[in-house]
Amino acid sequence: MTEHSKVTIPHLIRMKQAGERITCLTAYDWLIAGLLDQAGIEVILVGDSGGMVFSGYESTLPVTMDQMVYHTRAVSRGVGRALCVADMPFLSYQIRPDEAVRNAGRFLQEGGAEAVKLEGGEPVAETVRRLTDIGIPVMGHLGLTPQSIRKFGGYRLRGKSDDEAEELKKDARILEEAGAFAIVLEKIPADLAAGITASLSVPTIGIGAGPGCDGQILVTHDMLGLFESFRPKFVRRYADLASVIRDAVKAYAEDVRSGSYPSKEESY
């Protein structure tokens, strides 16, 4: 697999087998998706985290199918090499497998995505099986699953007790057996994530799950320092774009107020 060839699901499986780490980030629009793709990221997730960092909701729960299809269409137009995965929003896949098929199909048909992601283990296994059987690849998501935030009562670490850890291991096995091509592990102890990773033949993608996963994902607006409302310990900031933007906007406003913008050269 050369650095420039299109990322496919078999490519990701081969990366796991070769011990090559998989890079993943989120995008919600064409422009950022294009930049991530040009930088060589393997998987671009149109996350329902966009409900928080793009739309300003307090959780991902209000996000709708129509909003996610809109974002997915924009992102997929910006992506050339990466695998484009669309996140299924709350209530778009939990009610009945046939509704999940219809909604997941929209992401491929209208959104241009190549796969979907959904949250949960055993309770969604039948749906994962149905989707993969008809050719819609599914990425699973276990651990701190944000659509269950009302049940959890907060964003705390999952899988800390023996019971929770056993349930996560079982759910990971069930998702793999149901056909999931990869599994996101969010905010669980590093040892547990490493153990699950070693037990599976499909890649795990960690977020707050330590270095033992086959790949890592972050919310792009977090790692670029654009989203400032809260910052979990697992987020490493690679830029402070919020300050860059504020400073640039202040400089522009000053120039407009002082009359130094536009200059003669910037006028017709």
Residues with a catalytic annotation lie at 186
Structure tokens at 13: 């499986």
The piece of 43-51, 129-137, 226-234, 235-243 that touches ligand KIV (CB under 6 A) is 43-51
Angle in degrees, 0-180, between the axes of helices 190-199 and 162-178, rounded to the nearest 10: 30
Residue 22 near residue 43 (C-beta atoms within 8 A): yes
Contacts with ligand KIV by CB under 6 A: the residue count is 11
The piece of 30-38, 40-48, 94-102, 173-181 that touches ligand KIV (CB under 6 A) is 40-48
26 binds ligand KIV (CB under 6 A): yes
Smallest gap from Cβ 141 to ligand KIV, in A, equals 6
42 binds ligand KIV (CB under 6 A): no
Q: Looking up tokens 């081969």, which residue turns up?
A: 14
- Determine the Cα–Cα distance for residues 91 and 243; give it in Å rounded to an integer: 36
Smallest gap from Cβ 196 to ligand KIV, in A, equals 16
Residue 219 near residue 47 (C-beta atoms within 8 A): yes
Element holding 156 (H helix, E strand): none
Residue 70's φ and ψ, nearest 5 degrees, are -60, -50
Q: CA-CA-CA-CA torsion for 116, 121, 122, 124, nearest 10 degrees? A: -30
Residue nearest to ligand KIV (CB): 47
The piece of 11-19, 45-53, 125-133, 225-233 that touches ligand KIV (CB under 6 A) is 45-53
In the complex with ligand KIV, the residue whose CB is nearer, 1 or 31, is: 31
Per-residue binder mask for ligand KIV (CB under 6 A), 127-156, x = binder: --------------x---------------
- Determine the Cα–Cα distance for residues 135 and 130; give it in Å rounded to an integer: 9
184 binds ligand KIV (CB under 6 A): yes
Residues that bind ligand KIV (CB under 6 A): 26, 45, 47-49, 87, 141, 184, 207, 217, 219
